[in-house]
Chain A
Amino acid sequence: MLAKELVAMNEVDLLRLCQTTKCAQCGVSLHESTTGTRKTADGCLCSDCYFDRFDEELVAHPIGTPRLHKGR
């Protein structure tokens, strides 16, 4: 296309045209600086979905490093 046709294009339509990398969970278009782009074995996730997955894991399997603690 010519550059002036690009200028005439609606921004929403332009973004819809360009953004093909989407979060594998929620489908939001991924952008490094705003949504985050986190590679996992299940595909790229936005930061929101990435930490939601972490939450599920931490509820079932909290992290607890062996340590000394005072008695009660």
Chain B
Amino acid sequence: MHTVYLSDQEVDAYLLDLVERLTALGDDAPSVLVGIGASGAILTRRLVTVAPQLGDREVLLVDYNRADDRITYIKADPVAKLPGKRVLLIDGTVHSGNTLLRVMRDVEKHKPLALSSYALVVRRGARVIPNHFGVLVGDHDRALFLRRSFPNNRLKPYGIWRKIAESDMTKPMISTGRDFIDREHWSDYWYEGRTDPRRQTYLYEVAGEICGFISFRMGDGSKIVVDNIGVDKSKQDCRVGGHLMRWAEHLARHGTCARMELWAIDDRVPWYQKMGYEVVPNEELQLENDKFLLMTKKLLYNLPDDDVLCMTH
């Protein structure tokens, strides 16, 4: 995953170009600006700041709530403002394009004279392309702009996060209370990593003691498979497991993986399904009294499955 940083000056430069193109339209220029969501509102505000001559244009702010598929016009009546007008929709970033398309369809219901759209950033796999846009980024990428601070990636703030090393072979295994992990040994993971470079094991260590670990395989380049993850009983209220999982997913996105996979014991399958995982058909392991099912989750959740197959590179 690449992060594209756009300075305030760069954002203004893109907006000034947009203003020039809209001005060139003359009487066909949009008279109503519609900012989509918070980023659209901020960008619309910035647009008018760099081009004060737009100050008398009508502005509507619209929000799309994905949870209930609801469009809300904020402090504005679209029935009064949109019919017969040339409308420009403005959004900060188009990811899947679902929000933009949804808003377009809703605005169309109010019979504008013409409809156009602008986004500062567009992801490559978006299903709707704005009429004007600034930057095209990959589907794993993100863009940051017009922010006072940029988010850092976050692991647990204390302790040492590191890859397994040969010296770990002499260290005691963590105690999770689960025999299928506790009976293993660090040398197992060290050996696997030495013989298969796709396999990675990361440890979390505090005061010289290993407290947690995650072991996964970078599958065929398109997915990451989490094999084992465990936290010592002494640290099981410290969110170590969640941070280990977060690290694996972060690596997966940076490695342009499209999916995460893991083997879940059958009685935990409903929990993983709630968290966005799906059962992979015909992939089961029956071991004594336990059945394991392979579960998968799309990392590029903004794309349908067939696009995911094309977009990874």
List chain A positions with a Cβ less than 8 A from chain B: 1-7, 9, 11, 14-15, 17-21, 29, 31-35, 37-44, 47-48, 50-55, 57-59, 61-67, 69-70, 72
Binds A, one of B66-74, B108-116, B124-132, B200-208: B66-74
Whether B239 pairs with A1 at a CB distance below 8 angstroms is no
Q: Which residue of B lies closest to A45 (CB)?
A: B275
A40 to B301, CA, bound (A): 12
A15, A33, A67: residue with the most chain B Cβ atoms closer than 10 Å = A33
By secondary structure, the B interface counts as mixed
Q: Which residue of B lies closest to A53 (CB)?
A: B275
* B-side interface size class: 35 or more
By secondary structure, the A interface counts as mixed
Chain A residues, CB < 8 A from B191: 70
Among B255-307, those with CB < 8 Å from A are: 262-265, 268, 271, 273-276, 285, 287, 292, 301
Residue B38 at the chain A interface, CB threshold 8 Å: yes
In angstroms, how far is the closest chain A Cβ from the Cβ of B169? 11
Q: Quick one: which of A3, A32, A33, A35 contacts B57, CB cutoff 8 A?
A: A3
Whether B38 pairs with A62 at a CB distance below 8 angstroms is no
Residue B76 at the chain A interface, CB threshold 8 Å: yes
Q: Quick one: which of B236, B239, B263, B271 contacts A52, CB cutoff 8 A?
A: B239
Whether A62 pairs with B231 at a CB distance below 8 angstroms is yes
Among B183-206, those with CB < 8 Å from A are: 183-185, 187-188, 191
In angstroms, how far is the closest chain A Cβ from the Cβ of B211? 12
Whether B67 pairs with A21 at a CB distance below 8 angstroms is yes
Q: Quick one: which of A32, A42, A48 contacts B95, CB cutoff 8 A?
A: A32
Q: Quick one: which of B54, B75, B226, B263 contacts A17, CB cutoff 8 A?
A: B75
A61 to B38, CA, bound (A): 38
A7 to B42, CA, bound (A): 9
Whether A3 pairs with B37 at a CB distance below 8 angstroms is no
